[in-house]
Amino acid sequence: MLAAGRPADLPPAGPPEIAFAGRSNVGKSSAINALLGRKGLARTSKTPGRTQTINFYELEWGARLVDLPGYGYARVPKAMREQWKALVGAYLDSRNPAAVVLIMDARHPATDLDTQLLALLGEHRVLVLLSKADKLPRAAQKSTLQEASSLSPHVRLFSSTTRQGVEECRDLLAQWLQADRGNKRPPVKGI
């Protein structure tokens, strides 16, 4: 629908939205494609920092998926980190996503920046996805899921490659989008 590079470019809030957040390269754009069953809709890349704008995808039945730029890539210049804060901060301050999908790499979940964002999201509805689960053997998947379950009431293993967890997450998000119609929660303040 639209790519916003500056706070002023953000579209007016409309249908319920689900925002996808997480470190650079964890698989946010890939998750959007997997959930929508559309291969190249959200652009993905091996190079961290691919998504630098906030990209809005409007679904036919009146909902939006919002791909946020990733954080935490060490080689990003300071000016760009500031730009991330301003843009993502403006997004979270100005609207009420029905939920935020916080994606973490199943191999290194809950980095400092992840837990900072989680704390900032406070009472907001959050689904934590442990992405690239296909890269972990079953036993390690199980223990990672157990450890991460203290982060949020909703934590799932996920893989865009093998589609592990995709249907289950799609059902949960669709349910939350439905429940959110007409809701007016306060925006997330404080980035």
Instruction: Give the binding site for ligand GTP (CB under 6 A).
Output: 22, 24-30, 44-46, 48-51, 70, 131-132, 134-135, 159-161
Q: What is the dihedral of CA 45, 1, 121, 31, to 10 degrees?
A: -40
Strand partners, 102: 21, 128
- Tell the smallest beta-carbon distance from residue 165 to ligand GTP (Å): 9
Identity of the residue, 45 or 149, whose beta carbon is nearer to ligand GTP in the bound complex = 45
For residues 88 and 94, what is the distance between their CA atoms, to the nearest angstrom?
10
Identity of the residue, 50 or 170, whose beta carbon is nearer to Mg ion in the bound complex = 50
Give the tokens for residue 27.
């698989």
Alpha-helical segments (H) within 77-134:
78-94, 112-121
Per CB under 5 A, does 131 bind Mg ion?
no
Amino acid occupying residue 172 = L
Residue whose tokens read 């290194």:
108
For residues 183 and 180, what is the distance between their CA atoms, to the nearest angstrom?
5
- Tell the smallest beta-carbon distance from residue 68 to Mg ion (Å): 8
Identity of the residue, 70 or 97, whose beta carbon is nearer to ligand GTP in the bound complex = 70
Per-residue binder mask for Mg ion (CB under 5 A), 16-55, x = binder: ------------xx--------------------xx----
Identity of the residue, 43 or 142, whose beta carbon is nearer to ligand GTP in the bound complex = 43
Interaction site with Mg ion (CB under 5 A): 28-29, 50-51
